């Protein structure tokens, strides 16, 4: 039963020592292990585990483990108290002894159990100390010692051992439980058959087993790590914390020069000059250590300290481990310790082994990130250059690729300006995740645009595009939904080719799906015509066009997902479209890394065309890098607000718009659009750019420290402080940063 680690925040400048294999936390651990060892012998168990509550009692974390090697290495380190699979969680939750044995244990459908593909018996007993359940004792029997029937006498004996643990905990003190639940790694002790005077060797035994255990856990975590973020998290959980380091940095070489790609514990101002994004990065290699051999500095003195540069700040001991992959040095792992310490032979060997595992995983992650960036760049290049500015229609869009692999997807969306003040909304999906699918998607998108520009209706556009796809000779299926909105008349014409119809929600009404024929996918039967349906759009109507990744996943069936879309739209209550888009994309999972399929979402709110219903809007464009035009932006904002009779908002809106436009002109290699939209109670400003290039890679940190560079610095700090609301969202290939000021 394998766990996958737990992310913890590490704060800059934290000076206290994290408990490691050779730290003071082992004194109480050895005392508890002394209670567990006789129980393992007496009951001929495979292992005994003491769990302590963490996260305010919402979870349990393994503190002390005594047993055979295999049982130690399959220990579940952390579990939710509400997790029905584990007897320890049940004992903590109910306060009663819990027993699980064959065949029930084989019927638990959990991928966490793959390391124990056999039946077993487990008994968990609550440990009551300090007037509450302060721990849980778990005894485990695996083959050849289990599974087995546990007679009443042995269950009673387990209760007695739990009582002994409670007395020992009260003797040690209540602070122990709090410390063990913070960040201390598992204390592991192998069982032995002789119980005479070996307690003085317990520390040495536990240190060796613990190091081996964390090497094993690191290898398991890195085997599943595909992205640099996952690799850095594994370093924190499986190297930094187990050895008691307060600071950590991972460096790699780019064109022969070292850069920091991930860190924890170091202040951002220390790391920032050593990254690719630093303006002074040209001389970063002068401050970054790159030893040819492992270097262990056990105190704060010595000439070798000079080579550490800023990494030696406030650290008394350090370990510098070269990262070697394929016989080539690709980087360095730096560990910093607040107190002087000795690095024993076993610990040095374990750290070198860990560094070797890290180097191989780092190379794989960098290759994956490069492939993913290429695929993402291709996908972004096929999305709209930018969403058009339409007075009667407010729009928002989202695109998320599937989590698995770095392949490009075939989902897309588009907003078209059509003749006679009409607007076209398009969403489509080409099957599969491959460059071929993306290429087909690009051809379909171009075809739809061309046929729409000729003035054809949505059904005719789909028919012509279907024939085009058939002529391309591809074996891939594609679906598409087209909605043509007549902004002057307040009507919409909808046609679908094998694609879900849009969900439409009128103000104060229920979300509905138009009753129109779905039609066949594009290219399947090119001679069959498509049909369309027309409907009236009252002012305030919201339309949601999407691909099936929004409503369907391995944990959510299609019907339930579509119902949730309707519920979210029905509960809209005047939300901003960006917030509504975020709620909708969370239906199948808020974390992008867990998405089963690509997601494309296009939202539009029709504001109406009758007098008094249309919101006033205006826009201007600034050429790329034209910082002198910021003065014209201020004049544009001032004139618009004065014309609308909103003079009281001029000064604040001018300032915030200036900050956002300046940031966009500096960081984006594209023209910048400035858009103002009036609402009855507020003014909304959007600053959009269409720069398709991804930002320069910033170092990964698992701390809570804010890297202001990644937020464009001072500008967004001012916006966040003064605006009534603000946010960032995708806009075609680029991005949009918006804010609102209220009366």
Q: What is the pLDDT of residues 541-592, one digit of tens each?
A: 999 999 988 887 767 777 888 888 888 888 876 668 888 888 888 887 654 4
624 and 607 Cβ atoms separated by less than 8 Å? no
- pLDDT of 192: 57
For domain 243-377, give the CATH superfamily: GAF domain (3.30.450.40)
Angle at 63 between CA 61 and CA 66, to 5 degrees: 125
Q: What is the pLDDT of residues 409-430, one digit of tens each?
A: 678 899 999 877 789 999 998 8
613 and 539 Cβ atoms separated by less than 8 Å? yes
Domain 392-614 has CATH 3.60.40.10: yes
Q: What is the pLDDT of residues 272-301, one digit of tens each?
A: 777 765 444 444 445 567 778 888 888 766
CATH 3.30.565.10 domain position(s) in the chain: 615-743
| Whole-number average pLDDT of the chain | 79
Contacts of 636 (CB under 8 A, 6+ apart): 618, 620, 674
428 and 411 Cβ atoms separated by less than 8 Å? yes
CA distance 447 to 69: 63
Radius of gyration, CA atoms only, the chain? 31
CA atoms 147, 152, 157, 158: torsion sign: positive
- pLDDT of 716: 72
Contacts of 88 (CB under 8 A, 6+ apart): 49, 51, 60, 76, 79, 98, 124, 136, 138
CA distance 252 to 359: 9
Which CATH fold would you assign to the domain 26-214? Beta-Lactamase (3.30.450)
Q: Tokens at residue 28, please?
A: 């109480």
CATH 3.30.450.40 domain position(s) in the chain: 26-214, 243-377
More confident residue, 67 or 401: 67
Q: What is the pLDDT of residues 362-375, one digit of tens each?
A: 988 888 777 766 66
Q: What is the pLDDT of residues 438-460, one digit of tens each?
A: 778 888 888 999 999 888 889 99
Residue 636: pLDDT over 90: yes
Contacts of 103 (CB under 8 A, 6+ apart): 119
**Which H or E run contains 93?**
helix 87-94
Phi-psi region of 656 (alpha: psi -120 to 50; beta: other; left: phi over 0): alpha
**Which H or E run contains 121?**
strand 121-129
What CATH architecture does domain 615-743 belong to?
Answer: 2-Layer Sandwich (3.30)
CATH 3.60.40.10 domain position(s) in the chain: 392-614
Its pTM stands at 0.57
């Amino acid at each position: 039963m394998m766990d996958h680690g737990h992310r913890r925040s590490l704060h800059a400048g934290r000076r206290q020592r994290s408990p490691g294999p050779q730290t003071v936390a082992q004194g109480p651990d050895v005392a508890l292990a002394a209670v567990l060892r006789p129980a393992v012998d007496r009951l001929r168990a495979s292992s005994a585990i003491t769990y302590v509550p963490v996260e305010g009692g919402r979870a349990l974390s393994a503190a002390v483990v005594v047993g055979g090697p295999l049982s130690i290495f399959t220990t579940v380190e952390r579990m939710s108290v509400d997790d029905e699979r584990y007897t320890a969680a049940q004992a903590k939750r109910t306060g009663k002894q819990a027993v699980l044995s064959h065949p029930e244990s084989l019927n638990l459908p959990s991928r966490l159990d793959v390391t124990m593909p056999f039946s077993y018996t487990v008994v968990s007993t609550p440990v009551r100390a300090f007037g509450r359940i302060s721990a849980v004792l778990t005894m485990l029997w695996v083959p050849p010692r289990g599974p087995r029937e546990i007679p009443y006498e042995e269950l009673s004996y387990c209760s007695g051992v739990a009582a002994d643990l409670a007395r020992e905990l009260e003797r040690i003190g209540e602070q122990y439980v709090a410390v063990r639940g913070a960040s201390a790694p598992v204390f592991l002790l192998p069982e032995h058959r002789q119980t005479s005077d070996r307690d003085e060797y317990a520390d040495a035994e536990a240190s060796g087993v613990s190091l081996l255990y964390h090497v094993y856990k690191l290898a398991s975590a890195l085997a599943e790590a595909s992205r640099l973020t996952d690799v850095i998290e594994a370093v924190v959980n499986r190297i930094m914390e187990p050895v008691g380091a307060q600071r950590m940095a991972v460096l790699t070489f780019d064109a022969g020069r070292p850069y920091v790609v991930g860190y924890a514990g170091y202040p951002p101002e220390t790391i920032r000059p050593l990254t690719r994004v630093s303006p002074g990065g040209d001389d970063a290699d002068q401050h970054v250590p790159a030893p040819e051999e492992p270097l262990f500095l056990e105190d704060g003195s010595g000439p070798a300290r000079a080579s550490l540069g800023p990494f030696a700040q406030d650290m008394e001991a350090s370990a510098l481990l070269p990262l070697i992959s394929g016989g080539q040095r690709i980087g360095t792992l730096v560990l910093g310790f607040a107190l002087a310490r000795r690095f024993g032979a076993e610990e040095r060997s374990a750290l070198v082994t860990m560094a070797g595992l890290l180097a191989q995983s780092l190379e794989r992650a960098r290759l994956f990130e490069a492939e993913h960036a290429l695929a993402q760049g291709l996908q972004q290049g096929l999305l709209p250059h930018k969403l058009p500015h339409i007075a009667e229609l407010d729009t928002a869009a989202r695109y998320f690729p599937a989590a698995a692999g770095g392949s490009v997807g075939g989902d897309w969306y588009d907003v078209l300006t059509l003749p006679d003040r009409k607007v076209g909304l398009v969403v489509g999906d080409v099957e599969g995740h491959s460059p071929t699918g993306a290429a087909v998607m690009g051809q379909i998108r171009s075809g739809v645009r061309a046929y729409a520009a000729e003035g054809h209706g949505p059904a005719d556009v789909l028919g012509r595009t279907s024939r085009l796809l058939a002529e391309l000779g591809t074996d891939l299926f594609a679906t598409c939904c087209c909605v043509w909105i007549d902004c002057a008349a307040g009507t919409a014409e909808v046609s679908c080719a094998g694609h879900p119809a849009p969900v439409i929600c009128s103000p104060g009404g229920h979300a509905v799906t138009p009753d129109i024929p779905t039609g066949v996918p594009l290219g399947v039967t090119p001679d069959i015509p498509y049909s369309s349906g027309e409907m009236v759009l009252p002012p305030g109507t919201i339309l949601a066009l999407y691909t099936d990744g929004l409503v369907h996943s391995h944990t959510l069936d299609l019907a339930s997902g579509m119902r949730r879309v309707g519920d979210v739209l029905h509960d809209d209550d005047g939300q901003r479209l960006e917030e509504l888009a975020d709620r909708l994309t969370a239906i199948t999972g808020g974390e992008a890394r867990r998405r089963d399929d690509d997601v494309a979402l296009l939202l539009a709110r029709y504001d109406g065309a009758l007098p008094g219903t249309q919101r006033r809007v205006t826009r201007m464009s600034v050429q790329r890098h034209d910082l002198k035009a910021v003065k014209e932006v201020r004049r544009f904002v001032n004139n618009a607000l004065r014309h609308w009779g909103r003079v009281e908002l001029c000064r604040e809106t001018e300032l915030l718009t200036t900050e956002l436009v300046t940031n966009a002109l500096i960081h984006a290699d594209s023209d910048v659009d400035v858009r103002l939209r009036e609402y009855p109670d507020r003014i909304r400003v959007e600053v959009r750019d269409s720069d398709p290039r991804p930002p320069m890679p910033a170092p990964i940190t698992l701390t809570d420290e804010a890297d202001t560079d990644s937020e464009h610095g001072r500008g967004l700090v001012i916006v966040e402080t003064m605006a009534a609301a603000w946010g960032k969202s995708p806009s075609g290939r680029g991005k949009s940063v918006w804010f609102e000021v209220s009366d």
